[in-house]
Amino acid sequence: MSAEQENKAAGSQPEERVEADAAASKQLKNSPSGRNKEDVTMAEDAATGTATMKKVLRYIGKYRFLLIFSIMLAGISVVLQLYVPILFGDAIDQITGPGQVSLSAVMHYLLQIVVLIVIAAAATFVMNVINNRLAYRTVRDIRARAIRRIQILPLSYLDAHSAGDIVQRIIADTDQISDGLLLGFQQLFTGVITIIATLIFMFRKDIWISLIVVAMTPVSFLVARFIASRSYRMFRKQTTTRGQQTALINEMVGGEKVVRAFGYEKRASERFRQLNQELKKYSQSAVFFSSLTNPSTRAVNNVIYALVALIGSWRILAGGMTVGGLSVMLSYANQYMKPFNDISSVVTELQNAMACAARVFALIEAEPQSPDPEETMPAARGQVDIENVAFSYDKSRSLIENFSLKAEPGMRIAIVGPTGCGKTTFINLLMRFYDVDSGAIRVDGRDIRSVSRQSLRRNYGMVLQDTWLRDATVRENIAVGRPDATDEQIIQAAKEAHSWEFIRRMPEGLDTVIHDDSLSQGQKQLLCITRVMLTLPPMLILDEATSSIDTRTELEIQAAFEKLMQGRTSFIVAHRLSTIRNADCILVMRQGHIIEQGTHESLMAKGGFYAELYNSQFAGIQG
Query: Would you say residue 10 has pLDDT above 50?
Result: no
Arithmetic mean of pLDDT, 79-102: 73
CA distance 167 to 161: 10
CA distance 431 to 424: 11
pLDDT at 7: 40
State what percent of residues in the chain have pLDDT above 90.
3
Task: Name the least confident of 253-267, 374-388, 473-487, 522-536.
Answer: 253-267
CA distance 497 to 529: 6
Cβ neighbours of residue 551 closer than 8 Å, sequence gap 6 or more: none
Q: Tell me, what amino acid is at 200? A: I
State what percent of residues in the chain have pLDDT above 70.
83
Per mean pLDDT, which of 33-47, 320-334, 419-433 is the most reliable?
419-433
Arithmetic mean of pLDDT, 597-611: 88
pLDDT at 257: 65
List b or e across 427-444, with b for residues whose CB sees 16 or more CB atoms inside 10 angstroms: bbbbbbbbebeebebbbb
Query: Would you say residue 34 has pLDDT above 70?
Result: no
CA distance 88 to 110: 8
- Calculate helix-pair angle for 207-254, 42-60, nearest 10 degrees: 90
CA distance 247 to 167: 8
What is the SS3 assignment for 101? strand
Compute CA distances 246 → 171, 172, 177, 347, 367, whole Å. 11, 10, 18, 25, 24
Q: Which residue has the higher pLDDT, 448 or 293?
A: 448
- Convert the pLDDT of each residue in 305-318 to its tens digit: 788 888 878 877 77
Q: CA triplet 303, 306, 307: central angle to 5 degrees?
A: 85
What is the SS3 assignment for 483? coil
Q: Does domain 384-622 have CATH number 3.40.50.300?
A: yes
pLDDT at 266: 83
pLDDT at 203: 83
DSSP state of 169: I
Number of alpha helices (DSSP H) and beta strands (DSSP E) in the chain:
23, 14
Arithmetic mean of pLDDT, 492-510: 88
Burial class (CB in 10 A: 0-12, 13-18, 19+), 168: buried
Q: Which residue has the higher pLDDT, 574 or 598?
A: 598
Average pLDDT taken over every residue of the chain: 78
Contact by Cβ (8 Å): 292, 309: no
Compute CA distances 514 → 211, 305, 441, 465, 492, whole Å. 71, 66, 38, 19, 20
Phi-psi region of 114 (alpha: psi -120 to 50; beta: other; left: phi over 0): alpha
Query: Would you say residue 406 has pLDDT above 50?
Result: yes
- Locate CATH 3.40.50.300 in the chain: 384-622
pLDDT at 442: 92
Query: Would you say residue 621 has pLDDT above 50?
Result: no
Contact by Cβ (8 Å): 572, 602: no
Return phi, psi of residue 380, to 5°: -80, 150
Provide the pLDDT confidence category of residue 4 given band limits of 50, 70 and 90: very low
Provide the pLDDT confidence category of residue 150 given band limits of 50, 70 and 90: confident
Cβ neighbours of residue 34 closer than 8 Å, sequence gap 6 or more: 27, 28
* Model confidence, pTM: 0.61
Dmax (CA) for the chain in angstroms is 125
Contact by Cβ (8 Å): 236, 355: yes
Arithmetic mean of pLDDT, 342-365: 77
- Locate CATH 1.20.1560.10 in the chain: 48-144+151-364
Contact by Cβ (8 Å): 85, 142: no
Phi-psi region of 28 (alpha: psi -120 to 50; beta: other; left: phi over 0): alpha
Q: Which of 164, 171, 197, 378 is nearest to 272 (CA)?
A: 164
CA distance 239 to 227: 19
The CATH label, of 1.50.10.10, 3.40.50.300, 3.40.50.800, 1.20.1560.10, for the domain at 48-144+151-364 is 1.20.1560.10
- Convert the pLDDT of each residue in 393-403 to its tens digit: 877 777 888 88
